[in-house]
Amino acid sequence: MGRPIFDRRRREDMKLSIIIPVYNEAKTILEVIRRVKETDFEKEIIVVDDHSTDGTAELLQQNREGLRILFHEKNQGKGAAIRTAIPYITGEITIIQDADLEYHPSEYARLIAPITSGMADVVYGSRFQGGTHRVLYFWHAVGNKMITTLSNMLTDLNLSDMETGYKVFRSDVLKRMKIESNRFGFEPEVTAKIAKMGCRVYEVPISYWGRDYSEGKKINWKDGLAALYWIIKFNLFR
């Protein structure tokens, strides 16, 4: 793939496009947006509400300043929300930001550094490389490692955290992809596609403030099984 090297003298001036897919996160969405706005970068914030039913959409309507807000007429999933946002990207670097409080925008400088220095096309923030993290579910960690290992076997990448919510792209790379999966299949799909595109992929350690199901965590074992399907589909049949 073409790999134009960003001018390092301009790296502090690069515009970020922050995509925030959101579904039923009324308790956290305004705090996430506040944290994103506080980051010291030129940026645009694209929020895609995936037909929330808990008041999230109303909160967004009441707090539109500094945001581009897009609404789905029916619930479709994270991948669909990102697909909806891509045509509106105007920044040189795109960051996917979850709408809960598990990932903190204070990590942005670390995440974009390999791209702004001209070394990377894509950066994954790894929860398993030494950053501070909340101790939670053992079997979730085991499942994550199994899914990441299978993905690595088929992509020939050596990622430690394929399912991370923090994925950062040179925007031209993301725009060239056709995102097909709607839900959490986005993670294995985009990983398979960046491998096939020959992207330069880096990982950086991030902190992780995981939440439990009583706090609104949505991923479960069914999503893990679906991830296996998407890994096989996008690596072997695309």
Per-residue pLDDT tens over the stretch 166-182: 999 999 999 999 999 88
- Tens of pLDDT, residue by residue over 92-108, are 999 999 999 999 999 99
pLDDT at residue 115, as a whole number:
98
pLDDT of residue 131: 64
pTM of the model: 0.88
27-46 CB burial, b ≥16 within 10 A, e <16: ebbeebbeebeebebebbbb
Residue 103: exposed, middle, or buried by beta-carbon count in 10 A (0-12, 13-18, 19+)?
Answer: buried
- Provide the CATH topology of domain 13-236: Spore Coat Polysaccharide Biosynthesis Protein SpsA; Chain A (3.90.550)
Residue 9 confidence (pLDDT) = 40
Question: What phi and psi, each to the nearest 5 degrees, are found at residue 204?
Answer: -130, 145
> Which residue ranges of the chain lie beneath pLDDT 70?
1-12, 131-140, 210-221, 223, 238
Beta strand spans in 41-182 (E): 43-49, 68-71, 93-96, 122-126, 167-170
Q: Could you tell me the two tokens for 205?
A: 């350690």
- Per-residue pLDDT, 11: 57
* Order of strands across the sheet that contains 122-126: 68-71, 43-49, 16-22, 93-96, 167-170, 122-126, 201-205
